[in-house]
Every structure is written in structure tokens, then in C-alpha cells.
Amino acid sequence: MVSDDQPPVIELEDLCKIFYTDEVETHALSEITLSIQRGEYVSVSGPSGCGKSTLLSILGLLDTPTSGRYRLNGRQVEDLSMAERARVRNREIGFIFQSFNLIGDLTVYENVELPLTYRGMPASERKDRVLAALERVEMLHRARHLPAQLSGGQQQRVAVARAVAGSPSILLADEPTGNLDSKNGFAVMELLGELHREGATICMVTHDPRYAQYAERTIALFDGRLIDEDERPVAMGLVPQPGDGPRHGLH
């Protein structure tokens, strides 16, 4: 449920990101202005190379914009020190990656616990949070297993548990179904939907329109820019143009 009595979790104003290589400028993001309210479920869609992952990296404080403003929970963040960024990232943002990013020699329990350990959280509170998060994703029975002993769908459930255990302000999901078959992909999407219905704020990057439909709101990127509703079908290749062959949606 969206909350209107608090500032947006995410506020971007004229955000730009330029990569410089061999005297060539690549404009990955151009003049992005966007707000994500608390309790919203937003999908960022667009073809490969349109800037989706760059945007998510900036939202997650893994990268910095070239220009523009970024406020997280009302706080200006682009000029924070590395130590401050790490602290905010650990406490305010939950990450769900396409490749799961679990540590192979740690158990499921230890993988979920690790970010909480970095906070200096007492052991008893860590235990309560880890067990609750694993139960939430139906992986409590696998707590002592290693990631290699799990299926891809199970690993992604553990990654979701790790993301939510710290009660972050927002969950950032980067192609969370990208390494899963359709059955497990839809299962993970149902799990994210449940988390949203329980109040989670989610921003998900996906190139698959089937999964984008799970969100309340879809933001479309094309060549690093937000595009209007009436531009989407043509710009994103969803409507055949004269002389085009058959199209099959996003790829």
C-alpha cells in the first residue's frame, strides 16, 4: 500500500550518467526525473543496453551519477563518503541479484545473517531476524545447507530472505528471474508480490513484460531516457513498423 504522508523513498531529479572511454562519451542515463513512494511496486523495463542496470546501480549506491540529484528517504546521497554510502546501503537497501550472489562456503543461515553482522547487531536479534526471514520465504528447513545444495529457485529465495532480513526501506531487484526457468521465475515473482502486499517497497529491473506486469507501475527506459506512455510501443519495438518483420516483444 502506497503511503502519501511520508516523503518518497526515492527521488531523482535530472539524473544523468556519462561514461568516458577513449575520448568517447556514452550517455547511459539522461535527465531522469522519478519518484518512488513508500509501499510502491515499480518495474523498470526496456531493451538491453537502455540503462536499466545503470539506474539500479545508482539507486543502490553502487555507482554515482554524473549530474543531477538523488534523495533517499529525503536525504541527499550522491555526495556521501564511501563509508557513509556503505552504511546507508547496508541499512536502507535490500538487493536481489540475477546471479543470487550467495557465498558458497557459508550456510543459508550464515548468508542471510552476514549483512546484519556488519551492522553490529546483537546475536539474539540477528537470530530472530534470520529465522523469520527464512520462514517468510519457506526456506527455514534449508538453513544449514550450502548454496550448492540448493536449486536455482531455492537460492533466489535465500537471496530474497537476505534482502528483507534487515527491514530495508526499498528492495532493488535486478532481473531476479534471469537465471531461473519459467516455473521458478513465476514462483519468485509471486514471492515478491506477497512481500509487496505486506508493505514492501520494490523497484525491479526486468526485460520480460510477463514479469513487469506484477508491478503496480511500469517505467520504460529507451536509450537512457524515460519515455512517455504513447512512445512506448514504437520505441520499445512492441508495434511493427512498415517493412518490419514479425516482432515478439522485448528481447
* Whole-structure pTM value: 0.84
**Angle, CA of 89, 33 and 44, to the nearest 5°:** 65
Strands (E), the chain: 10-21, 24-36, 41-45, 67-72, 75-76, 93-97, 170-174, 202-205, 217-222, 225-226
Question: What is the structure's pLDDT at 4?
Answer: 58
Q: All 3 cell numbers of residue 91?
A: 541499512
* pLDDT tens, residue order, the chain (251 aa): 565 567 899 999 999 999 988 878 889 999 999 999 999 999 998 888 889 989 999 999 999 999 999 999 999 997 789 999 999 999 999 999 999 999 999 999 999 999 999 998 999 999 999 999 999 999 999 999 999 999 999 999 999 999 999 999 999 999 999 999 999 999 999 999 999 999 999 999 998 888 988 999 999 999 999 986 444 443 444 433 333 433 333 22
Contacts of 163 (CB under 8 A, 6+ apart): 94, 95, 96, 171
142 DSSP assignment: G
Domain 38-65+76-235: top CATH class: alpha beta
Distance CA 69, CA 48 (A): 25
pLDDT of residue 47: 84
Q: Are 184 and 153 in contact (CB under 8 A)?
A: yes
